[in-house]
Amino acid sequence: MAKQVGFYMNMANCYGCQTCQVACKSEQQTAPAVSFRRVRQFNNDYPVMHATLSMGCNHCEKPQCLVNCPVGAYTKLDNGIVYQDHSKCIGCRMCVMACPYGVPQYDPEEGKTSKCSYCKERIDQGLQPRCVEACPGGNLAAGDLEELKAKYSGVQEFPGMPAAAITNPSIIINPAKAFKK
Amino acid sequence: MSNESKDLKPATNMTRRTFIKGTGAVAATVALGGVGMVASGADVAEGAPVDFKNAKTFTSSCTMECLHHNLKGYVVDGKLVKIEANYPNDPTKACLRGLSRVQWVNHPDRIKMPLLRTGEKGEGKWKEISWDEALDLIVTKIKETQRELGNQGLCYKTGSGNFGQLVNGVAAAFFNYLGGCTTLVGSLCCQVVTTTMPPMLGSRYEDTRDTIQDSKYILVWGTNPAVTMQSYFYKYMDAMSKGARMVTIDPRFSETAAKSDEWVPILPGTDAALGLGMLKIIIEEELYDKDFLLKHTGVPFLVDKATGDQIKAEGSETGYLVYDEISKGIVPHDQEGIVPALSVAGTDLAAKYTTVFDLIYNEAKKWTPEKVQEETHVPAETVIRLAREYATSKPAMIIQNMGGFQRTEYGSYAVGAQFYLAAFTGNFGKAGGGVCDAGGVGTNIKVNDAIPSPKPQGQFGTIPSPKFGEYILADKPNKIGFMWIMTTSMMTQYPNTNKVKAALKKIPFVVVVDSLMTSTALYADLVLPCTTVFEYTDLLAHNRHHYVQLMEKAVDPPGQAKSDLEIFQMLAKRLGFGEAFDKTPEELIEVCLKGTGITLEQLKKGPVLATPDPYIPYKDGIFKTPTKKAELFVPMWKSKGFNPVVTYIRPNEFIYGDRQLAAKYPLMAVQRKINRTIHSTFGTLPWICEATGSTPHVLIHPEDAAARGIKDGDRVVVYNDRGEHRCVADVKAHIKKGIVALENGWWEQQGGSSSYVTSDFVEPLGGGHSCNNTLVEIRKEA
Amino acid sequence: MSTWELPLVIFTVFGQWAIGLAIMLTLVEYFSPATITEANLKQFRMGGMAVLPLVAVGLLFSIFHLGRPFAAYRALFNLGQSMLSLEIAFFLVVGVLALIYSYMWWKTPDKSSRKIVGAALSIVGLAAIVISSKVYALPARLAWDSLQTTAAFILTAVLLGAVSVALLLGKSEDETSLKAKKVFGWVILGAVIATVVVLALFAQTYGASAEQSAAVAATFASAIFVVRLVLGILIPVALAGLFVANGKSSSTIISVALFSVVIGELSGRILFYSSVMSQYPWF
Ligand code: SF4
Ligand code: SF4
Ligand code: SF4
């Protein structure tokens, strides 16, 4: 099996502080409308369902962004990163529509879409993705997906999430109490 | 800032893609309302991302009233380009706010020159003047005030915006060099912890964060550590993964409640009743730790029924007397070989004496589970269960952390009740036990003042902080002619803000020192531009972190912004204060560190741990009181005419309090801290606005909302006789019905602070702030 | 408004209109050449010439959809994988054929050889519409990823094409024209019924998933849906009724009807996009 990097996200312990989100913004210097990593809140009338999930790009095995992009801006790198060559983007938002997780983000000011690169530049320097490094709660982990799977247990989807079968995302989520089956 | 006087330059904080548009985002995210920020039309820039690899790094700290995380700043070409947590040199990690400081340093709206008011106060019309002009003006105004009103006419207020050693302390020294002045007393944050904890336990700022993970039962009481102790929160989760049970008592289903095993909603201001109700069960079911009570607390101390005071052996300050069950005599509590009686009820002594234990039990006894339920809305069964669980799962920790429960009308008693529970169950002094306060190096080492302060000359009155507006308007204790405000934003933090606003308008000359045009700076006569973190050198050694930190200067401040120290140094020179102020920051830091065993050289290499690890406050039950025991009888309360042991007094601004008021304003409002600001600090940084939103919300229960025709997302007005707060309704069952949660820290330019409606009642036992006993009504914005 | 995706709406609706018109004209030319009488020729010529500007408007708006319009050519770079690339390629061919087709109507209106071009345009155009619908066959967007999308796109072409040709025949009262009108009446009626069926099928998917339910709800709860219903569906029914009843029909009425159908289709397409896009960020 080809090498594949991935994320582990301990949703059960994430308290939604959004440090990962801002650390990413800072590292990637993204535009105001763009956050490569976002912390979603699950809220409804039942407080016990309250939970937060932090998600960047899942660097999927079958990336929908990649197959739908008309300019071929996306490539799957040797280590499994789904990488966008930003210079190629023409801002058609096909990837935005195609990604089940809403990962690619369109910046109307720039007229282009961009997304999490798994901090490719940092990985090349032997560093951790910035979001993972920044989480004060230690609720994110990055690394080789197989190794992560050996270390952590979790799921690729929980009720309410897009079907993992669509893209086979490289993510392991330890769901919050309320989302455990 | 009016267009005419403020020339906002485009941000030069370059970035890949269109980040530069961030400037516009600030303007877009704040409701302008005639004041505040003007968007600068920066161009879209496409370029390479900043190469952090070749950056120079510096360390500094996140200095406001929070956890004081150590920060690593990356500098490229003289610009701060990124901030990271300085991990693992500081084993806890900064949050989104600490990281966003890079946007504060590079904020396009930084104040760069002294600004003199040209329009009405609050109008935001200014003209830039030189520092020379500004300082001359200040000196003239000080002298004018001294001449007309005496030093009593001077006043200054420093706050929790910066805990650096060379900031607030220097202000205190400066005003004492002037001869003294009228001051504000009582912290808005945790005054009643400060007045309750030292008499009972002998010290303050004793935090148990090092051993949270060792706890078996965590009672998070009226506080929200998932937000306010965020970098330690993983320890709570650790404890839970090892089987600890966590229960959160809070009117709101907080971020912490979301992670807890149980959420116990409670009516605000009734915590002491719950505490006493739990204590009743613990005493009656004999779940208390008798051995601990006898050895380590003052509950056996005898109290003279006639005077109501504890009795002491003659000529001894600490020789409280107890009844010895062995010798059947009255002996000093610290005599060897005695077994003090907890209670003298039913003995011959009872005619004349009682014990602190008896006094406490008499108070607790009244709080049957049913009565507790009536008063607090915590179900009777829950009260019983909480008491049993807390008393029998050891070690058990109460998380107090200066939480909202104590910003209530008789908050001192609520704080005391928690100490009683911990003392009765023998949880103090144990890993995983105790009561967690904020805490830090100041508890364990003595850091000196940078500039020793002379004694004020003459008699000076004081103003209770919550009553700032009212006192100024009534010229109480005297007329104020000159006011200096720094490291705080009264217009967002002080209750009854309309009065604060009127007060600031009334004071003839108000100087505000700040780096951005804050809500308070809007009401200044003169705004002085100051530096922010990474622009000046300082020492951070306060009561929020276990590390002593050197704050390095990494970049030059924008324009002519100066550090608070420099500002006072320039004034001191003009006023002829001599040598005292005339030192470099490094020299002053050496002064501060003298005798601590920590050196500047050491600090240059990184933060230095200055607290034993793990730190266990009152280890082995040795308290820091004169008797080395927990003294649960507080003579100070008695001297103020209150019960010296914890009792429950029903708040006035409460649904069961002033019924007339409650009929008019039937909703109980509490004010919460949110992850976007520390008080009001950080509130307008673009990343913060983008990640967390830029409009104030009020959390309201769906049934309360429906009764008022309010839907989620509606614009609403929260109001009472004090004022109005405009915000957006967040309709969710994440709060107890009948209670609404306001958010703390919103700027005037973003729609204004929720403190416009909060109560300015002064907690009578300790002088605290009681914003969480506020009654309001809510209507849909027309 | 931001989720209306107007450029895409105009691109797809106008593209489909052009193709539908070409198909209808070609069908008339092949199966009922007698309809194109001396008197009618002028009308038909106008219709034929209209195909090109319709395609052109569509293509132009497709470019406005892009954040980087000047880099539009790059959209052809992922033909092997991306449906969008393929769609653009097909529409470019449609454009070229439309150019030839309209040119022939303009220069040589009485030569019947152009019907071969018309046939080619119809076939390529139909394929382009199908491909276009496949662009939205995204497994992540259940509301789009179904045959209903294909059906809806084709029905738009049929309806707009048929009403347009009806307009061309508006004033003609001769035998063959009346017969043709009757046929078109049935076609319009059929298309309308099919549209209702497609909408009903879509409504039935309520409950399939949270996202799907939200899309369905967003569609039917929208005020735009009323526009679509009245203009896009009811008016054509009335119009078709007129035809089928073989009554007298004034071209003013049909003009109004065409206008209504166009607005109806545009609003239908707005709903198509916004019911899904307004949920962004999904999940
Ligand atoms: S930084 Fe960590 S704890 Fe905070 S929101 Fe992100 S994942 Fe959750
Ligand atoms: S890996 Fe890097 S780019 Fe991706 S979300 Fe994390 S910080 Fe952002
Ligand atoms: S705001 Fe508080 S938690 Fe965040 S970095 Fe600063 S000190 Fe740390």
Q: Can you read off the two tokens belonging to residue B734?
A: 């994440």
Please tell me if residue B30 touches chain A, with a CB cutoff of 8 Å: no
Note the maximum CA span of chain C.
Answer: 60
Measured distance CA(B100)–CA(B81) in Å, rounded: 11
Which chain C residues are within 8 Å of A66, Cβ to Cβ?
A: 81
**Average pLDDT for residues B730-758, to the nearest whole number?**
97
B67-85 pLDDT tens trace = 999 999 999 999 999 999 9
Judged by DSSP in three states, B155 sits in: strand
Ligand 2 neighbourhood includes A63 CB (under 6 angstroms): no
ipTM of this complex:
0.96
Question: Please, are residues B653 and B773 in contact by the beta-carbon 8 Å criterion?
Answer: yes
Inform me whether the pLDDT recorded for B30 exceeds 50: no
Nearest chain C residue (CA) to A105: C281
Whether the bond into B614 is cis, omega within 30 of 0: yes
Q: CA-based Rg of chain A, rounded to a whole angstrom?
A: 16
Measured distance CA(B755)–CA(B87) in Å, rounded: 36
Share of chain B above pLDDT 70, in %: 94
Phi, psi of B744 (to 5 degrees): -90, 140
Judged by DSSP in three states, B723 sits in: strand
A 125-144 → C contacts, CB under 8 A: none
Candidate from A66, A90, A167 with C-beta closest to C72: A90
Candidate from A17, A35, A114 with C-beta closest to B230: A17
Please tell me if residue C6 touches chain A, with a CB cutoff of 8 Å: no
Q: Of B215, B395, B368, B204, nearest to B289 (Cα)?
A: B395
Which pLDDT does position B4 carry in this prediction?
Answer: 34
- Give the ligand whose atoms come closest to the C-alpha of residue A82: 2
B215-252 pLDDT tens trace = 999 999 999 999 999 999 999 999 999 999 999 999 99
Ligand 1 neighbourhood includes A35 CB (under 6 angstroms): no
Cα(C89) to centroid(ligand 2), Å: 35
Candidate from A29, A47, A138 with C-beta closest to B19: A29
What are the Cα distances from residue B528, in Å, to A62, B32, B64, B447, B536?
Answer: 57, 22, 19, 28, 16
Nearest chain C residue (CA) to A62: C139
Cα(B99) to centroid(ligand 3), Å: 9
Nearest chain A residue (CA) to C63: A92
- List the chains bordering chain B where 3 or more Cβ pairs fall under 8 Å: A
List chain C domain ranges. Answer: 6-277
Question: Please, are residues B438 and B229 in contact by the beta-carbon 8 Å criterion?
Answer: no
Judged by DSSP in three states, A86 sits in: helix
Q: Which residues in C32-54 are b (16+ Cβ under 10 Å) and which e?
A: eeebbeeebeebbbebbbbbbeb
Subunit contact B16:A50, Cβ cutoff 8 A: no
Number of C-beta neighbours around residue B198 at 10 A: 16
Share of chain B above pLDDT 90, in %: 92
Candidate from A35, A107, A139 with C-beta closest to B18: A107
B422-466 pLDDT tens trace = 999 999 999 999 999 999 999 999 999 999 999 999 999 999 999
Ligand 3 neighbourhood includes B94 CB (under 6 angstroms): yes
B682-729 pLDDT tens trace = 999 999 999 999 999 999 999 999 999 999 999 999 999 999 999 999
Please tell me if residue A17 touches chain C, with a CB cutoff of 8 Å: no
Measured distance CA(C123)–CA(B704) in Å, rounded: 62
> Domain spanning C6-277: which CATH class is it, in words?
mainly alpha
Judged by DSSP in three states, B630 sits in: strand
- How would you list the strands of the sheet with B79-85, edge to edge? B56-61, B70-76, B79-85
Inform me whether the pLDDT recorded for B47 exceeds 50: no
Candidate from A30, A47, A51 with C-beta closest to B19: A30
- Per the prediction, chain B carries an average pLDDT of 93
Domain range A5-179, its CATH number among 2.40.30.10, 3.40.50.300, 3.30.70.20, 3.40.718.10 = 3.30.70.20
Task: Take atom 4 of ligand 1 and give the residue whose Cα is closest.
Answer: A17
Inform me whether the pLDDT recorded for A156 exceeds 80: yes
Q: Can you read off the two tokens belonging to residue C186?
A: 């049935």
- Give the ligand whose atoms come closest to the C-alpha of residue A6: 2
Measured distance CA(B32)–CA(B1) in Å, rounded: 11
Pairing label, strands B723-731, A105-107: unpaired
Subunit contact B17:A112, Cβ cutoff 8 A: yes
Full DSSP string of B32-53: -TTSS-----PPP---PPP-GG
Which pLDDT does position C248 carry in this prediction?
Answer: 64
Find where tokens 């673009």 sit.
B686
Ligand 2 neighbourhood includes A28 CB (under 6 angstroms): yes
**Average pLDDT for residues B253-277, to the nearest whole number?**
97
Subunit contact C138:A38, Cβ cutoff 8 A: no
Subunit contact A102:C283, Cβ cutoff 8 A: yes
Ligand 2 neighbourhood includes A131 CB (under 6 angstroms): yes
Cα(A23) to centroid(ligand 2), Å: 8
What are the Cα distances from residue B247, in Å, to B254, B487, C98, C115?
Answer: 11, 35, 72, 80
Question: Please, are residues A105 and A115 in contact by the beta-carbon 8 Å criterion?
Answer: yes
C257 pLDDT tier (thresholds 50, 70, 90) = confident
Inform me whether the pLDDT recorded for B174 exceeds 90: yes
> CA-CA-CA-CA torsion for B301, B304, B305, B307, nearest 10 degrees?
-130
B279-310 pLDDT tens trace = 999 999 999 999 999 999 999 999 999 999 99
Subunit contact A43:B732, Cβ cutoff 8 A: yes
The crossing angle, in degrees rounded to 10, of helices C83-107 and C114-135 is 160
Inform me whether the pLDDT recorded for B2 exceeds 50: no
Nearest chain B residue (CA) to A35: B691
Find where tokens 């700290």 sit.
B61
Find where tokens 């009642």 sit.
B761
Question: Please, are residues A59 and A34 in contact by the beta-carbon 8 Å criterion?
Answer: no
**In Å, how far is A1's CA from the nearest CA of chain B?**
33
Which pLDDT does position C37 carry in this prediction?
Answer: 81
Measured distance CA(B209)–CA(B232) in Å, rounded: 7
Where helices occur in B106-205 by DSSP H, the ranges are 131-149, 168-177, 191-201
- To test ligand 3's pocket by mutation, which of B83, B96, B102, B231 has the most ligand atoms within 8 angstroms of CB? B231
B49 pLDDT tier (thresholds 50, 70, 90) = low
Q: Give residues with Cβ within 8 angstroms of B691, minimum separation 6.
A: A18, A21, A22, A25, A35, A39, B96, B676
B608-650 pLDDT tens trace = 999 999 999 999 999 999 999 999 999 999 999 999 999 999 9
CA atoms within 13 A on the CB side of B674: 26
B 441-470 → A contacts, CB under 8 A: none
B 68-107 → A contacts, CB under 8 A: 82-85, 87, 92-96, 99-100, 102
Which pLDDT does position B782 carry in this prediction?
Answer: 83
Question: Please, are residues A157 and A134 in contact by the beta-carbon 8 Å criterion?
Answer: no
Cα(C261) to centroid(ligand 2), Å: 48
Interface test with A, best of B13, B14, B19 (most A CBs within 10 A): B19
Ligand 3 neighbourhood includes B364 CB (under 6 angstroms): no
A93-150 pLDDT tens trace = 999 999 999 999 999 999 999 999 999 999 999 999 999 999 999 999 999 999 999 9
C255 pLDDT tier (thresholds 50, 70, 90) = confident
Find where tokens 């529970």 sit.
B421
Which chain B residues are within 8 Å of A30, Cβ to Cβ?
A: 16-17, 19
**In Å, how far is A167's CA from the nearest CA of chain C?**
9
Which pLDDT does position C175 carry in this prediction?
Answer: 82
Angle at B47 between CA B43 and CA B48, to 5 degrees: 150
Pairing label, strands B482-486, B154-158: parallel
Candidate from A18, A110, A133 with C-beta closest to B44: A110
